[in-house]
């Protein structure tokens, strides 16, 4: 794995952990009333997607358990959506997609000794 990939994977992991932590104890309706929470979660998901987009093809092929294209595509939709972000999708990502992503990233980084 290239050193830059290690950094990108670590960025993905840290951002995913933050998003899950920020949402802990919150409900979906909190996204409607807490602008800071919703903007923070959107930004963290964007960071995850940007990092995933820039991981080398070699690493992506070595770890097909991570949905690289879907993660990057989500980032692209968020970046270009401006004010029309679907907060139901954001909540679903944080609650259902990020925990298994965190687990996969931890395994990949642990296997590489980082």
0.95 exceeded by the pTM? no
Q: Distances from the Cα of 90 to the Cαs of 7, 59, 61, 85, in angstroms?
A: 24, 26, 27, 8
Whether 75 is catalytic: yes
Task: Provide the domain count of the chain.
Answer: 1
Exactly one of 24, 75, 77, 110 is catalytic; name it. Answer: 75
In this predicted model, what pLDDT tens digit does every residue of 8-36 receive, in sequence order?
Answer: 999 999 999 999 999 999 999 999 999 99
Judged against a pLDDT cut of 60, whether residue 1 lies above it is answered with no
In this predicted model, what pLDDT tens digit does every residue of 66-92 receive, in sequence order?
Answer: 999 999 888 878 877 666 888 999 999
Q: How many residues does the chain have?
A: 114
pLDDT for the residue 82: 61
Exactly one of 21, 28, 77, 80 is catalytic; name it. Answer: 80
Whether 110 is catalytic: no
Comparing 55 with 82, which gets the higher pLDDT? Answer: 55
The boundaries of the domain holding residue 39 are: 3-111
pLDDT for the residue 2: 58
Confidence of residue 54 (pLDDT cuts 50, 70, 90): very high
CB 111 within 8 A of CB 66: no
């Amino acid at each position: 794995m290239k050193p830059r990939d290690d950094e990108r994977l670590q960025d993905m992991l840290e951002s995913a952990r933050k998003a899950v932590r920020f949402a802990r104890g919150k409900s979906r309706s909190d996204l409607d009333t807490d602008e800071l929470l919703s903007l923070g979660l959107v930004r963290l998901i964007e960071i995850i997607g940007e990092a995933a987009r820039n991981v080398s093809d070699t690493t992506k092929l070595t770890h097909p358990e991570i949905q690289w294209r879907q993660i990057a595509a989500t980032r692209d939709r968020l970046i270009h959506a401006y004010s029309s972000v679907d907060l139901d999708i954001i909540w679903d990502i944080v609650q259902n997609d990020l925990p298994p992503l965190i687990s996969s990233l931890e395994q990949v980084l642990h296997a590489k000794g980082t």
